[in-house]
Amino acid sequence: MALKLQDGSRVGVVGGGPAGSLFSYFLLTLAQRMDVRLQVDIYEPRDFTRPGPGGCNMCGGIVSESLIQALAVEGITLPGRVVQRGLDSYVLHTDDNEVRIETPLHEMRIAAIHRGGGPQGERRRRWGGLDGYLLGLAQELGARVVRSRVRDAGREKERPTLQADAARQAYDLVVGATGVNSSRWRLLEQLGLRSRPPRTTKAFITEIDLGEELISRHFGTSIHLFLLSVPGLDCAAVIPKGEFLTVCLLGERIDETLVQRFFDSAAVQRCFAALPGPQAQACRCKPNINVREAERPYADRVVLIGDCGATRLYKDGIGAAYRAAKCAARTAVLEGVSAAAFARHYMPLYRSIVRDNRYGSVMFGSLHWIKRMGPLVGGVLQMAGKEQTRPGAARDMSIVLWDTFTGSAPYRDIVLRALRPRFIRRFAWETLTSMRSRERGAAVKESSDHGIGTIGS
């Protein structure tokens, strides 16, 4: 029997993070276009207007430029109360140097947001979080928000069921959008998913309360990225927002010692040197991050989207949630809700995210390796730093760095770009010359003198 959504069909969405809300938004938009009336329940216990961890789906809070553009085409314009700062550049810090990389358009195309009501101690309550805004969009289209956690799931005849506080509800489609931070995999198994769960690792986030003026003066509209030789630390980012700086550390084993080592490193000390006094950390958390996908994200009348399925390795997780949510919604409305429909129409996108992450792993692996080799880091910085002094010249390194850190391009494109003979030749040359001038003791100063790079070829 073909499993299709029809007039009056009921859809249960577990989780009202970006994946669940965007799924509901696109499902209802498409269903309206097809003249099908659906009843959508989104289960979400968090109150996204609350400051602190209770109202927050812990993340760095960067909305990538590709997602900003895609949402604009979809008719979703993020309002000022959600976007706390528009960002237009990156500053890459290494142990002893830094380089700034800007977009050729000099346009704010990256958004810094809070996910919920902001960190604990949020003084001015003028900000709203991204998750609350997206959930509101789904509600405007008619989705009903059930403010409870789903505790139990199952199957009743052919239909999946969900149980929160009240009676068990049966649905024609259940969408798992639980992320990897607040639900056990068993809940999704109860829906009939028999597959390997996603693998996660711990990350670390803290919010530093500096106030808007200091942040604007010292951090401007740039994300600060740190590639340091601190063992166990893959990458760290300092993201300026309205009143707070978000500091976000990624790596395989993040613990207190590693966090302290990061704050004590010369690069961080340099970056924070001009700030008055010790900075108060307003909010801290150690969220899980998905580093390997769930194996089979669908069954009859069930589909997983967002972090509890597959996401983009380390970057643009919200963008990946958007793509998966929309693809699953399209499949459900236009193709049906059977396992076969999801296998045929949802899995190609899912697999493309997973495949691209393989390139991502290679890329982050190489970055790891480069980080350990001082001369190579010197080559990266010198190449990017020089690119801006020659107007019209190729911006190979700047583009690779921009795409790597903004999450704007597929990892595959970045790897292929970095494997071009011209790139390798130039990189080798810059590494050699930076080694030579380092020996002469002058190198570091030179590349920081022209440390402003602009991307674009």
Partner 1 sequence: MESAPLGREYSDGEVICRQGEEGDRMFVIQDGQAEVTFREEDAEYVVGQLGVGDLFGEMAVFDKQPRSATVRAKGRARILTLDKHGFLQRVQEDPSFVFRILQMMSSRIRHLDAEVARLRRLVSERDVPAS
Ligand X SMILES: Cc1cc2nc3c(=O)[nH]c(=O)nc-3n(C[C@H](O)[C@H](O)[C@H](O)COP(=O)(O)OP(=O)(O)OC[C@H]3O[C@@H](n4cnc5c(N)ncnc54)[C@H](O)[C@@H]3O)c2cc1C
Applying CB under 8 A, the residues found at the interface with partner 1 are: 30, 33, 66, 68-70, 72-75, 77-83, 85-86, 105-109, 111, 323, 326-327, 330, 349, 352, 408
Q: Please, which residue, 236 or 337, has the CB nearer to ligand X? A: 236
**Contacts to ligand X from residues 181-200, by CB under 6 A:** 181-183, 187
181 binds, among ligand X, partner 1, none (CB under 5 to 8 A by kind): ligand X
Verify binding: residue 248, ligand X, rule CB under 6 A.
yes
State the nearest-atom distance from the C-beta of 326 to partner 1, in Å. 6
Among residues 289, 284, 333, 312, which one has the least CA distance to residue 26?
Answer: 333
Verify binding: residue 61, ligand X, rule CB under 6 A.
yes
Residue 416: strand, helix, or coil: helix
177 binds, among partner 1, ligand X, none (CB under 5 to 8 A by kind): ligand X
Q: Scanning the structure block, which residue is given the tokens 């970056």?
A: 271
Among residues 245, 409, 404, which one has the least CA distance to residue 319?
Answer: 409
Verify binding: residue 316, ligand X, rule CB under 6 A.
yes
**Contacts to ligand X from residues 161-180, by CB under 6 A:** 177-179
Verify binding: residue 318, ligand X, rule CB under 6 A.
yes
Q: Please, which residue, 175 or 383, has the CB nearer to ligand X? A: 175
In this structure, are strands 97-102 and 199-202 parallel, antiparallel, or unpaired? unpaired
What order of strands is seen across the sheet that includes strand 152-156? 152-156, 159-163, 169-170
CB of 191 closer than 8 Å to CB of 342: no
State the nearest-atom distance from the C-beta of 22 to ligand X, in Å. 8
CB atoms within 10 A of CB 80: 10
323 binds, among partner 1, ligand X, none (CB under 5 to 8 A by kind): partner 1
State the nearest-atom distance from the C-beta of 6 to ligand X, in Å. 26
82 binds, among partner 1, ligand X, none (CB under 5 to 8 A by kind): partner 1
Rounded (10°) angle between helices 347-372 and 411-418 = 40
Verify binding: residue 46, ligand X, rule CB under 6 A.
yes
Residue 239: strand, helix, or coil: strand
Conformational region of residue 432, where left means phi above 0, alpha means psi within -120 to 50, and beta covers everything else: alpha
Alpha-helix residue ranges (DSSP H) falling in 280-373: 317-330, 339-345, 347-372
Q: Residue 257: phi, psi to the nearest 5?
A: -60, -45
183 binds, among partner 1, ligand X, none (CB under 5 to 8 A by kind): ligand X
Verify binding: residue 17, ligand X, rule CB under 6 A.
yes
State the nearest-atom distance from the C-beta of 66 to partner 1, in Å. 6
State the nearest-atom distance from the C-beta of 30 to partner 1, in Å. 7
State the nearest-atom distance from the C-beta of 103 to ligand X, in Å. 18
Q: Which residues pair with 189 in a beta bridge?
A: none
Verify binding: residue 150, ligand X, rule CB under 6 A.
yes
Q: Which of 5, 62, 225, 304 binds ligand X (CB under 6 A)?
A: 62
Burial class of residue 127 in the structure, from the number of CB atoms within 10 Å of its CB (0-12 exposed, 13-18 middle, 19+ buried): buried
Q: Please, which residue, 376 or 409, has the CB nearer to partner 1? A: 409
State the nearest-atom distance from the C-beta of 298 to partner 1, in Å. 18
Burial class of residue 172 in the structure, from the number of CB atoms within 10 Å of its CB (0-12 exposed, 13-18 middle, 19+ buried): buried
Q: Distance (Å, rounded) from C-alpha 317 to C-alpha 322?
A: 9
CB atoms within 10 A of CB 419: 9
Q: Please, which residue, 85 or 371, has the CB nearer to partner 1? A: 85
Give the DSSP H or E segment for 199: strand 199-202
State the nearest-atom distance from the C-beta of 56 to ligand X, in Å. 9
Q: Which residues of the chain form contacts with ligand X (CB under 6 A)?
A: 14-20, 43-46, 57, 59-62, 149-150, 177-179, 181-183, 187, 203, 205, 248, 287, 289, 306-307, 311, 316-319, 321
